[in-house]
């Protein structure tokens, strides 16, 4: 029997709500998906300001939820569950979304689903592509860079992570360093297209290591040093710096993913697909690198549409529906969490344990 779930997302600077339908055979359908970006509020500061983000969520969330329900032509009495991202994220925003979901669940006597935001990214390809387990996830966003074995709902093994900056964070910091507008990631990508990647010999972090971890702080420092040496920068210099940075990132991603896929296969057998999620997956050059990695590994590459790679309510609703189908619900005092590891309740295979020390 189909179930309907409302999903709410407020972990960073998007206020989002959506309604999805999950059929008895596991197929998913998006009935509504509304996202309100806060780019204009944060642009003057060159990054997300947590207090501004939380206030903006408070101002608009009720209206966005109402519109999502209206667009889906669904009443609250028809919902099988109410899902909200309970973390990880900016704690003020997380509290706003989770509190709203709790209020709806309590008033309408509907099950609450306190969803891990990272799990929502991990399960999105099952909504868009009906993808079977197990698959290998490359999660790259402003705050997270991870390679994860997705073995089932609630069953995740982290194969690699960043030891310092996340990919999206590194792109944004580079943009700010070079005076490019916010949000920085797309600006760096555009500048890189006009630049010459071979002008600078930037390092390729972590290349050749047996673990699947990432590091970007050394690369970022190398770009800063080169930019400082050439100040004042011409537009050509900015383009070349962005192109050199992005080329180094692409080589690092390919090397790290090759290792991650090898570790996956050794532990769990061949994956059904290589999946990319998170806002950084919208970068066309990175998508090209992922296609090469998937082709080399002879596995399918699955990347959800851009609107479902970045933060949205549909992914939260779907993760809630997947959990609800297994009889998993949460109590109304489920806590908001600024930090919440996706694999914190999973025993790490022995062969991976020595690659995970300290992370």
Q: Do 177 and 103 share a structural domain?
A: no
The residues near 308 (Cβ < 8 Å, ≥ 6 apart) are 124, 127, 128, 314, 315
- Chain mean pLDDT for the chain: 93
For residue 243, the tally of other CB atoms under 10 A from its CB is 22
**Per-residue model confidence (pLDDT) at position 350:** 47
Q: Using CA atoms of 238, 215, 183, 140 in order, give the dihedral in degrees to the nearest 10.
A: 130
Across 10-31, average pLDDT:
96
Residue 346 has a pLDDT of 55
- Within a domain: 94: yes
Confidence (pLDDT) at 75: 97
Residues 109 and 70 in one domain: yes
The pLDDT, as a whole number, for residue 249 is 95
Quickly state the pLDDT bin for 352 (edges 50, 70, 90).
Answer: low
Does residue 67 fall inside a structural domain?
A: yes
What does the pLDDT read at residue 32? 98
Look at residue 357 and tell me whether its pLDDT is greater than 60: no
User: Of the given ranges (33-47, 209-223, 241-255), which has the lowest mean pLDDT?
Assistant: 33-47
Same domain, 156 and 286: yes
Q: Are 90 and 59 in contact (CB under 8 A)?
A: no
Stated pTM of the model: 0.92
Q: Which residue has the higher pLDDT, 227 or 278?
A: 227
What's the rounded Cα separation, in Å, for the pair 7 and 115? Answer: 9
Region 139-162: what's the mean pLDDT?
93
pLDDT grade for 39, boundaries at 50, 70 and 90: confident
Percent of the chain with pLDDT over 90: 85
Question: What mean pLDDT do residues 313-331 have?
Answer: 97
Q: Is the pLDDT score of 354 beyond 80?
A: no
Banded pLDDT at 345 (limits 50, 70, 90):
low
Residues 130-134: what's their mean pLDDT?
A: 96
Q: Is the same domain home to 141 and 217? A: yes
Q: What local confidence, expressed as pLDDT, does residue 44 receive?
A: 87
In this structure, are 246 and 299 located in the same domain? yes
pLDDT digits (tens, 9 = 90+) for 224-244: 999 999 999 999 999 999 999
8-26: average pLDDT = 96
CATH number at residue 316: 3.30.420.40
The domain tally of the chain equals 2
Read off the pLDDT of each residue in 326-355 and give the average, rounded to a whole number.
Answer: 78
pLDDT at 99 > cutoff 60: yes
In a domain, 291, yes or no: yes
Q: Which domain holds residue 94?
A: 3-129+307-325
Q: For 27, phi and psi rounded to 5 degrees?
A: -75, 145
Rounded CA-CA distance 22/314 in Å is 12
CB 80 within 8 A of CB 4: yes
For position 141, what pLDDT does the model report?
81
Tokens matching residue 94: 């997380």
Res. 351: pLDDT tops 60: no
pLDDT for the residue 359:
36
Q: For position 358, what pLDDT does the model report?
A: 37
Are 139 and 44 found together in one domain?
no
Both 260 and 317 in one domain: the answer is: no
């Amino acid at each position: 029997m189909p179930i309907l779930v409302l999903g709410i997302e407020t972990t960073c600077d998007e206020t989002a709500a959506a309604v999805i339908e999950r059929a008895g055979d596991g197929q998913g359908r998006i009935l509504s998906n509304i996202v309100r970006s806060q780019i204009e509020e944060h642009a003057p500061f060159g990054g997300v300001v947590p207090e501004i983000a939380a206030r903006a969520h408070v101002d608009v969330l009720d209206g966005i939820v109402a519109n999502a329900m209206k667009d889906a032509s669904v009443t609250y009495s028809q919902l099988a569950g109410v899902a909200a991202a309970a973390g990880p994220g900016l704690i003020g925003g997380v509290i706003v979304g989770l509190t709203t979901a709790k209020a709806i669940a309590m008033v309408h006597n509907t099950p609450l689903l306190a969803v891990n935001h990272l799990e929502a990214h991990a399960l999105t390809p099952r909504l868009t592509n009906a993808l079977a387990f197990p698959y290998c996830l490359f999660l790259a966003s402003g705050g997270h860079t991870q390679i994860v074995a997705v073995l089932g709902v609630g069953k995740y093994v982290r194969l690699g992570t960043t030891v310092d900056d996340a990919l999206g964070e590194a792109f944004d910091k580079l943009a700010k360093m070079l005076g490019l507008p916010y949000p920085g990631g797309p600006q760096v990508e555009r500048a890189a297209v006009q630049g010459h990647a071979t002008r600078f010999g930037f390092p390729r972090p972590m290349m050749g290591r047996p673990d699947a971890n990432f590091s970007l702080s050394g690369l970022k420092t190398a770009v800063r040093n080169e930019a400082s040496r050439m100040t004042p920068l011409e537009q050509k210099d900015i383009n070349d710096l962005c192109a050199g940075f992005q080329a180094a990132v692409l080589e690092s991603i390919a090397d790290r993913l090759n290792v991650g896929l090898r570790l996956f296969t050794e532990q769990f057998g061949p994956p059904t697909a290589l999946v990319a999620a998170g806002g950084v997956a919208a970068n066309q050059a990175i998508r090209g690198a992922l296609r090469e990695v998937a082709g080399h590994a002879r596995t399918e590459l699955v990347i959800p549409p851009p609107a479902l790679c970045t933060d949205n309510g549909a992914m939260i609703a779907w993760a809630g529906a997947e959990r609800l189908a297994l009889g998993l619900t949460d109590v109304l005092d489920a806590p908001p969490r600024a930090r919440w590891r996706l694999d914190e309740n999973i025993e790490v295979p022995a062969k991976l344990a020595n690659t995970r020390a300290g992370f």
